[in-house]
Amino acid sequence: MMRNYSLLLVVSLLALTGCGAIHNAIGPDRAESELRDAVEAPVTLSGAESPFCAVPVVSEPSLAPAVAAIPPAPYEATLYFILDTDELTPESKIEARNIYNEIISRQIAEAIVVGHTDTSASHAYNQTLSLERANKVRQDLIDIGVPANIIRTSGVGETDLLIETADGVREPRNRRVKIDVR
């Protein structure tokens, strides 16, 4: 009995494979059809407006004056100083050129220059030195064309350390001037 089922199964499978002949997707008699010819026909464009193209939107009056009135983003930079002087480090002398070029390329309304020191000297001495450093950078800005009346300077001595240290510690990253232009 099992043998009869196996034979029936084999015959059925052979019959089904005969029905599965490979034909063209369009039909067994023709490799092409009118529908395919129409779809693959070249597109002819005319000078008339296409119903598929959006109509240009007429924009509001020009926003260029409003956009031009938006102030540029603020710019901040830091310059570092040699111990116990208002002289820039060699690296900062090189970087100062880039910073100053960036500043003069902007339309600025205000420049804030803040001098800092490390904690290696007395509080009073550091206060004076930080202001000298700020004034040195202020003069550099004036020399490159920044109007003196828009530059504000201050010295904070050792009161706003970038790197927290104990009193009497020499920390080069604390000997700096921060420049903020807007």
How would DSSP label each residue in 136-164? HHHHHHHHTT--GGGEEEEE-TTSS-SS-
Tell me the average confidence (pLDDT) per consecutive run of 10 residues in the chain, 182 residues long. Answer: 66 63 53 63 60 61 76 91 97 96 92 97 97 98 96 97 96 98 93
Domain count, the chain: 1
Domain of 169, in residue numbers: 75-181
* Model pLDDT, residue 64: 76
* Model pLDDT, residue 69: 76
Flag whether 48 is in a domain.
no
Flag whether 168 is in a domain.
yes
Flag whether 171 is in a domain.
yes
Flag whether 164 is in a domain.
yes
Flag whether 28 is in a domain.
no
Contact 29, 35 (CB under 8 A): no
Flag whether 51 is in a domain.
no
Flag whether 133 is in a domain.
yes
* Model pLDDT, residue 25: 52
Flag whether 103 is in a domain.
yes
Residue 83, domain CATH:
3.30.1330.60
* Model pLDDT, residue 68: 74
